[in-house]
Amino acid sequence: MIELKNIEKYYANKGVKSYILRHVTTSIKQGEFVSIMGPSGAGKSTLLNILGMLEEPTYGEYHFMGEDVTAMKERQRIELYRNHIGFVFQAYHLIDEMTVAENIEAPLLYKKIPGAERKSRIADILDRFNMVAKKDLFPNQLSGGQQQLVGIARALVAQPSIILADEPTGNLQSAQAEQIMDLFKKLNQEENITILQVTHSEKNAQYGNRILTIEDGVIKEDVTVK
């Protein structure tokens, strides 16, 4: 599903290059649940952002579902993103002025899904997440865990092939974090949705089947656990 070949990312300042990622070569198959771990500043978020097409690598090849992402025009990349990728952020990134239902609807509007189908998909996901009663509330009226559920509902409603999550439970208490990890595991096992998360938590990483460790912009370890 994902193939990275010799990915590099650096910033040049007065001719001096500072490398964020170096020689990153790896592949991820459909159905895997991968955790990216490593110290702060190692390049984890940068790698996830490149995979999520939110940032471009300076060098190297990235194939996503057989398509050459680095060779694409911005518009094609956005299209690919909207059709296949659900991104979940540590700080949720919900739109404060929009209700729960409106936040969840946003990606469907981008994809030009007709109104009746939008309504039924939003209703289904609210029901599944036990959030029907909260549909007209605003993000600041919800707990952190509920906000993250909305963030995940928004990622899922467009029926992505992969969920990319950057420290999805980083701002949550442990009970809420467990709920989110259980949900990821279920999505992975029952719906074969590929999951890639950046996490500092050994416990969160155990929910997945593979751990990639990054240090100083380099993949140091790649362990498939089960």
Closer residue to ligand ADP (CB): 38 or 52: 38
Note the residues at the interface with ligand ADP (CB under 6 A): 11, 20, 38, 40-46
- Least separation in angstroms between residue 192's CB and ligand ADP is 27
**Smaller CB separation from ligand ADP, 49 or 188:** 49
For residue 139, the minimal CB distance to ligand ADP (Å) is 20
Q: Compare residues 91 and 132 and give the one whose CB is closer to ligand ADP.
A: 91
- Provide the minimum distance between the beta carbon of 161 and ligand ADP in the complex, in angstroms, as a whole number: 23
Task: Report the residue number, 89 or 138, with the smaller CB distance to ligand ADP.
Answer: 89
Report yes or no: 3 and 21 within 8 Å, Cβ to Cβ: no
Tell me, what amino acid is at 32? E
What is the spatial order of strands in the sheet that 67-68 belongs to? 16-28, 2-13, 59-64, 67-68
Rg (CA), the chain: 18
Q: How far is the CB of 6 from ligand ADP (least distance, A)?
A: 18
Residue 198 in contact with residue 45, Cβ under 8 Å?
Answer: yes
Helices (H), the chain: 44-51, 74-84, 100-110, 115-128, 144-156, 174-191, 202-205
Q: What is residue 161's DSSP assignment?
A: S
